[in-house]
């Protein structure tokens, strides 16, 4: 009898926890009943999850104007098994993602003319410039492009957010 009541209590707790996760007002009564705060509220994906992937592409340009192939701006070098627990290098990817989101907001709010002086744009340009400096042989400038992709939503076509002018490498 004791194990049945324990299992029943755990099932009730699990079901109440699942209802707690819903934003539907019908299930708000579980929040009212939980005055002790024992039902967890999980927010794995924050209040508004990201629904797009952003990519920065860049290419080198030589003195004659010949352009190279587009390359994706790499922020990390691959992941080791232990980095599932601790991966401070992932911060670079998050920074680039946040910078492109800031740029997207500037562009969508009608500030296209001043976007090149925006802090996010300058930071992306400098980060890309550093990559170009490491790879350049005879090239004198670089160009970058930001793309927004639907991620797992294959129905959504990739969209070019901006295409920069050519910038000197040094």
Three-class DSSP category at 61: strand
pLDDT digits (tens, 9 = 90+) for 51-79: 778 889 999 999 999 999 999 987 766 66
pTM of the model as a whole:
0.63
Helix (H) or strand (E) holding 108: helix 90-108
Helix (H) or strand (E) holding 8: helix 2-20
Dist. CA 82–CA 79, nearest whole Å:
8
Three-class DSSP category at 28: helix
pLDDT digits (tens, 9 = 90+) for 80-130: 777 666 666 667 777 888 888 888 888 887 766 778 888 889 999 999 999
């Amino acid at each position: 009898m004791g194990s049945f009541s324990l299992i029943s209590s755990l099932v009730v707790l699990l079901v109440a926890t699942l209802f707690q996760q819903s934003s539907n007002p019908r299930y708000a009564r579980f929040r009212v009943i939980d005055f002790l705060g024992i039902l967890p509220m999980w927010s794995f994906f924050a209040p508004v999850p990201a629904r797009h992937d952003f990519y920065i592409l860049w290419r080198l340009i030589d003195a004659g104007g010949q352009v190279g192939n587009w390359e994706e701006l790499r922020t990390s070098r691959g992941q080791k098994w232990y980095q599932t627990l601790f991966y401070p290098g992932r911060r670079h990817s998050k920074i680039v993602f946040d910078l492109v989101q800031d740029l997207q907001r500037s562009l969508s709010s009608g500030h296209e003319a001043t976007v090149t002086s925006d802090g996010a744009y300058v930071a992306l340009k400098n980060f890309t410039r550093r990559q170009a400096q490491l790879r350049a042989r005879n090239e004198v400038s670089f160009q970058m492009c930001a793309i927004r992709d639907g991620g797992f939503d294959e129905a959504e076509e990739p969209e070019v957010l901006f295409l920069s002018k050519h910038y000197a490498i040094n």
